[in-house]
Amino acid sequence: MPNPTAAMLVIGDEILSGRTRDANMHYLAGEVTKVGIDLREVRVVSDDPGAIVAAVQALSAGYDHVFTSGGIGPTHDDITAENVAAAFDRPISVRDDARAILAAHYDARGQELNAARLRMARIPDGATLIDNPISAAPGFTIENVHVMAGVPSIFQAMLASVLPQLTGGAPILSQALEIRRGEGDIAGPLSDLAERYPDLSIGSYPFIRDGCYGAQIVMRGQDGARLEAAMSELAEMFPA
């Protein structure tokens, strides 16, 4: 049986103007190749409705799987979701499950779920959500198209949860913990933890918020109990 085929669609003016260097294409190419999916084509288009709709329709019809990156954030030029919906002639609106995920995320941080952020809860009818352990706002799968974020750490986390569904592999579970300390303080204990849990993939995604350093620690693995155990240890090391 020939390998399943895939295409990627990168969406964003910032790539085409040279302001940002795309990192997701190379990552996706490596990951799908590992699991026996042939990446056959990549297209990069601008934040233009007609270009997005045409590319989604062409690639969805031409390949078994399509992965998109970019254009699902809170700003006015993030127009991927509605144009993927349009490509499949589906309505799109704020969906309760996506809204609940965002509300919980921002509540926990004392931040407002304002209109801009609520844009990220707009999901085409019939799509299934893709988990975002880094910053909550979900991606989604509609037909054979997997719509994911452009930020590389989030793109990678979303891809990790999507790929096993396509290949019939064991699903990858993930948990995240936000630690309000600099990575220099976190690195040592985290490295010890990673050594004791070699079956888990542990990533650290630093941020600066309100002038304070912090990092989102994301753990992924196939064994939920191991994930719980490691996450509990981490939480004890760094009490809130």
Among positions 176-215, residues that touch a copy of itself (CB under 8 A) are none
Burial class of residue 165 in the structure, from the number of CB atoms within 10 Å of its CB (0-12 exposed, 13-18 middle, 19+ buried)? middle
Contact track, a copy of itself, 17-46, x by CB under 8 A: xx--xx--xxxxxxx-x----xxxxxxxxx
**Size, binding site for a copy of itself by CB under 8 A:** 25
Contacts (Cβ under 8 Å, ≥6 apart) of 153: 134, 203, 205, 218
CB of 38 to a copy of itself, least distance (A): 8
The set of residues, in sequence order, having a beta carbon less than 8 Å from that of 77 and lying 6+ positions away, is 13, 47, 71
Helix (H, G, I), strand (E, B) or coil at 134: coil
Q: How far is the CB of 145 from a copy of itself (least distance, A)?
A: 18
Nearer to a copy of itself, 39 or 98 (CB): 39
What's the min distance (Å) between Cβ of 6 and a copy of itself? Answer: 9
**Shortest reach from residue 204's CB to a copy of itself, in Å:** 23
Indicate the residue among 31 and 183 with the shorter CB distance to a copy of itself.
Answer: 31
Four-residue CA torsion sign, 115, 116, 118, 123: positive
- The 49-88 contact track toward a copy of itself, x by CB under 8 A, reads --x-------------------------------------
- CA dihedral of 44, 45, 47, 51, whole degrees rounded to 10: -150
Other CB atoms within a 10 A radius of the CB of residue 55 amount to 22
Burial bucket for residue 169 (CB in 10 Å: 0-12, 13-18, 19+): exposed
Residue with smaller CB distance to a copy of itself, 45 or 193: 45
- Point out which residues bind a copy of itself (CB under 8 A): 10, 15-18, 21-22, 25-31, 33, 38-46, 51
